[in-house]
Amino acid sequence: MGGAWSIIGITWLAPVFGIYFAATLLASGQGPTSAWRALAWAILAVIVIIALSYLGSVQHIERDFEGRLIYIWLVTAVAALVAMRGWPALFKVIAAYGYAARIPVALVMYLAFRGNWATHYDALPPGMPPGYPFWEKYLLLGFLPQLVFWVAYTVVSGMLLGGITAAVFRLIWLAPQKAPSGK
């Protein structure tokens, strides 16, 4: 597959757009009620992913291939909902962006699976048992990962970088007000 550090890909755009959307919302007066609260909820979302992923591996909650997929989808979806609490306006924008970016990928993956392109769009992950029918394979590896896992990843990473952006903007805006006022 493309890999975590792919130069050409959309995965790395999620945090970049999180910064952009946060700055745009801040400039239009739609910032969070508290920048620190927004950042704290985003950090908590990352902690939820780490903690529940660890719990799943230690407790063997996800015993089979499908169970592992469903578990990680649920974990990331829960984390995205946690992050939403900090800045609902950013959540809406970054989630809309996530779907706008991932629906075309899901469609390309459909074509790749249907046409057996032998690219990263239809590559099978290690540990996947053989013999899945087309629709089951596409739903498990294309449709649901794109529209659940990757959108949730986009939300969490975008909310995290957006929260950092809001906190930095807050510090910058407060800095001149705290300066000594006179001679």
Please check the confidence at residue 167 and state whether its pLDDT lies above 50: yes
Q: Rounded distance, CA 175 to CA 121, Å?
A: 48
Angle of CA points 137, 141, 144, to nearest 5°: 110
Give the model's pLDDT for residue 180.
54
Residue type, 150: W
120's CB contacts (< 8 A; 6+ apart) are: 1, 2
Residues 11-58 pLDDT 10s? 889 999 999 999 999 999 999 999 999 999 999 999 999 999 888 877
Q: Rounded distance, CA 143 to CA 110, Å?
A: 8
Tokens of 163: 């929260």
Give the model's pLDDT for residue 124.
87
With bands split at pLDDT 50, 70 and 90, how would you rate the model's confidence at 179?
very low
